[in-house]
Amino acid sequence: MPTREHEIPLRLVQNQPALAPVLVRALGFEIPRHTEVVNTNTALTNCDPRELNADGAVLLRDGPRNVMAVVVERQNGRDKEKRLTWPAYLVNLHTRLECPTLLVVLCPTDSLASWCAAPIRTGHPGFDLAPLTIGPSRMPVIARDEQARELPELAVLSAHAHGNSDPRTLRAVVEALDSTPERNRAFYYDYVLSGLNEAAREELEGLMAVETYEWQSDFARKYVGIGREEGREEGREEGREEGRAAEAARSVLSVLEARGFTISDEVRRRVEGCADLATLEKWVPAAVTVDRPEDLLD
């Protein structure tokens, strides 16, 4: 099952395809004029018994013309076999769409980004693929409210990458979450928290609750209030852990409800009664993809 670290960054791109060209531009590449950005088919098998499926693929169009395609991959570890598939992804997508095609790999650490950026030698003269990679240091910093409201998904990635060192990104992501559809808020917020240390986590929770920050939406009260009150009991790590578990359980149920499922009493009881934070953190991204709420418990 895909982990949260793998699933949620890709979900951000799927929810907001315009994120892909912004990331490419952040790497110093010119983006062609375009009027539309859409997700495209990630199945990149081309008459080959080996199935090839990219994590994400985005197409830029200018009217009826395809002007650029971007394959978006999430890499959480050093996987040599996975790297060997990347040239095929580009060639097959280029063949299908007949436009310039780029590969962007999102990495949780700068060291992994450097490893993934090493050229992939195909053996053909002039045909070596050097993946474009983004680790935390190359993730754009979104520090202004208007930027966050314009592209909330980028603000989420920014806060996850920079929130421990730049509190401006935390303030910005609060604005971003307030501009995000209810169905996405829970796991966006959960993903931001997963990248923060204790001090930054408390800073974010405080921003979402203090009266001076006029962000008193139902989401803040529902997903932050209880977890914050339980999690910030002075000097009690156990209380913090319970608060995070309660927060994660609410995120799981919120995602299932947003997908239109009717949650049985048994599933609700099991989720709300689960005290194991690691299990709950696995259930959050799984809730995005399961066919039935009961499948979470299998």
> 87-139: per-residue pLDDT in tens?
999 999 999 999 999 999 999 999 999 999 999 998 999 889 999 999 999 99
229-249 per-position pLDDT tens digit = 444 444 445 555 666 777 788
Mean pLDDT of 164-172: 94
Average pLDDT over all residues of the chain: 82
> Residue 257 burial (CB < 10 Å; 0-12/13-18/19+)?
middle
pLDDT attached to residue 178:
84
Q: How confident is the model at residue 296 (pLDDT cuts 50, 70, 90)?
A: confident
pLDDT above 60 (res 212)? no
pLDDT above 80 (res 84)? yes
Q: What's the rounded Cα separation, in Å, for the pair 54 and 43?
A: 7
pLDDT attached to residue 237:
52
Please answer whether residues 261 and 274 qualify as being in contact, where contact means their C-beta atoms are separated by less than 8 angstroms.
no
Mean pLDDT of 174-196: 84
Question: Which segment of 31-35, 173-177, 178-182 scores lowest on mean pLDDT?
Answer: 178-182
The fraction of the chain above a pLDDT of 90, given in percent, is 40
pLDDT above 70 (res 204)? yes
The fraction of the chain above a pLDDT of 70, given in percent, is 83
Q: Parse the chain into domains and list their residue ranges.
A: 4-138, 145-297
pLDDT attached to residue 234:
45
Question: Which segment of 71-80, 177-186, 189-198 scores lowest on mean pLDDT?
Answer: 177-186
pLDDT attached to residue 215:
41
Q: How does strand 101-106 pair with strand 56-62?
A: unpaired
Please answer whether residues 71 and 102 qualify as being in contact, where contact means their C-beta atoms are separated by less than 8 angstroms.
yes
Coil vs helix vs strand at 135: coil
How far from the centroid of its chain's Cα atoms is residue 92's Cα? Answer: 25
pLDDT attached to residue 211:
35
Q: How confident is the model at residue 219 (pLDDT cuts 50, 70, 90)?
A: low
pLDDT attached to residue 216:
41
* pTM exceeding the 0.75 threshold for the entire prediction: no
Q: Tokens 């799981």 appear where? A: 252
Question: Which segment of 99-103, 120-124, 167-171, 210-214 scores lowest on mean pLDDT?
Answer: 210-214
Please answer whether residues 116 and 75 qualify as being in contact, where contact means their C-beta atoms are separated by less than 8 angstroms.
yes
Please answer whether residues 223 and 284 qualify as being in contact, where contact means their C-beta atoms are separated by less than 8 angstroms.
no
**DSSP classification of residue 30:** P
Q: Which H or E element spans position 85?
A: helix 80-97
Q: Tokens 């531009």 appear where? A: 25
Q: How confident is the model at residue 65 (pLDDT cuts 50, 70, 90)?
A: very high
